[in-house]
Amino acid sequence: MDCRRRSATFNKRSTETPSYAPAYAGLADTYAMLGSMPYALMQPSDASAKAKAAATHALALDESLAEAHVSLAFVTYAFDWDWGAGERHFKRAIELDPNYATAHMWYALYLGQLGRVDQAVSEAQRARELEPLSLIGTYSVGLAHYFGRRYDTAAEYARKALEIDPNFPSGRRLLAQVYAAERRHTDALREFQRLNESTATNWLHLGLLAYAYGRAGDHAKAHEILDRMELASRTRFVPAAQIAIGYVGLDDRDAAFQWLDRAYAERSQALNFLKMDPIFDSLRSDARYRDLVVRIGLTPADADRAMPSPSPTPVSPLPVKSPSPPRSPRR
């Protein structure tokens, strides 16, 4: 996704047709992506302010536009950490257009990050039913299962996406994260290395590679990557959360929380993964973890419930449907 090119396109469209609400909704999405994982090309605080302004303007032009409600839902919960308002906008979007796949997919992410895994799986599956050819839709189902520690099923969906496109970064990343969670260090390193080889410099992918080296016991290589990232951060924007992930792999809690605090100051959307992503399991016993969870709008009870028991549900076959042309997604 060339987010900067999309931003220019939607800016041009909104200037040419200032009363066209979908252009502002598309612009909001693009700014949100520029400030979010896995892209994070802009400071989240700057990107979210632009995204929120565009989404709010889209709704002022047309309150019945489902796409604009989804845009505002994401910005509101992901950057402002107003989880209640975010859900209200997701539900309103689905009420307005039950067949808008992106609404179900992004609502699934929201639900998964909160730990409402079964609901997340249901929403992600609905998105995939609506757009069966969507790679990101297939990945989203796997991600929901990953949040629930259903690793076999998560890996199944990751592989399904990679069967369609072996270079699909999100599918490769999810498979690598499953291996890391299962402590299959050799497999995780192989997949994270392939991920970094197949994509341009991506700070999330580098941070995950450092994490994997740290977990595998190769601290020298982990530090080499982190040194590179920290050096780059002196002259350009490098998301603090991605550096923190590398230090989590090294089990350096002080450094990890130092960078997570910087991520909080950036209004990093990556912090929404704190509650449910297995990557952060080693931090959960630390009081600083609970404090950070509360600061992003959750409660101490949310921190206590952050680690669900793995579900021994058997791997079910992927649903088979006759492919139909997917609706053109804006995201």
- In the prediction, which pLDDT does 108 show? 98
The answer on pLDDT for 13 being more than 80 is no
**Residue 185 placed within a domain:** no
Q: Do both 133 and 165 map to the same domain?
A: yes
Question: Are both 110 and 172 inside the same structural domain?
Answer: yes
The CATH number of whichever domain residue 24 belongs to comes to 1.25.40.10
Q: Is residue 235 part of a domain?
A: yes
> Which residues constitute the domain of residue 21?
1-98
Q: Which two tokens mark 177?
A: 């994260």
- Average confidence (pLDDT) over 32-50: 93
Same domain, 15 and 39: yes
Amino acid at 33: M
Model confidence over 77-99: pLDDT tens digits?
999 999 999 999 999 999 999 99
pLDDT of residue 299: 77
Domain count, the chain: 3
pLDDT in tens, 274-324: 999 999 999 999 999 999 999 999 876 566 655 554 444 333 333 433 333
| Across 4-18, average pLDDT | 54
Q: Are 205 and 280 in a shared domain? A: yes
Pair 86, 112 in one domain:
no
Question: Are residues 244 and 229 part of one domain?
Answer: yes
- Among the three residues 71, 98, 125, which one is the final residue of a domain in this structure? 98
pLDDT in tens, 91-135: 999 999 999 999 999 999 999 999 999 999 999 999 999 999 999
Report residue 200's pLDDT band, with 50, 70 and 90 as the boundaries: confident
Does 31 lie in the same domain as 126? no
Are 49 and 109 in a shared domain?
Answer: no
- Same domain as 155, residue 65: no
328 pLDDT band, cuts 50/70/90, is: very low
Q: Is there a domain that residue 261 lies in?
A: yes
Looking at the structure, tell me whether residues 252 and 284 fall in a common domain.
yes
Q: Read off the pLDDT of each residue in 17-31 and give the average, rounded to a whole number.
A: 89
List the single range of 6-20, 61-75, 254-268 with lowest mean pLDDT.
6-20
- Among 180, 213, 246, the domain-final residue is 180
Query: Does the residue 279 lie in any domain?
Result: yes
Residue 285 lies in a domain: yes
pLDDT above 80 for 329: no
In a domain, 316, yes or no: no
Q: Are residues 21 and 122 part of one domain?
A: no
Average pLDDT, the chain: 89
| Three-state helix/strand/coil letters over the chain | CCHHHHHHHHHHHHHHCCCCHHHHHHHHHHHHHHCCCCCCCCCHHHHHHHHHHHHHHHHHHCCCCHHHHHHHHHHHHHCCCCHHHHHHHHHHHHHHCCCCHHHHHHHHHHHHHHCCHHHHHHHHHHHHHHCCCCHHHHHHHHHHHHHCCCHHHHHHHHHHHHHHCCCCHHHHHHHHHHHHHCCCHHHHHHHHHHHHHHCCCCHHHHHHHHHHHHHHCCHHHHHHHHHHHHHHCCCCCCCHHHHHHHHHHCCCHHHHHHHHHHHHHHCCHHHHHCCCCHHHHHHCCCHHHHHHHHHCCCCHHHHHCCCCCCCCCCCCCCCCCCCCCCCCCCC
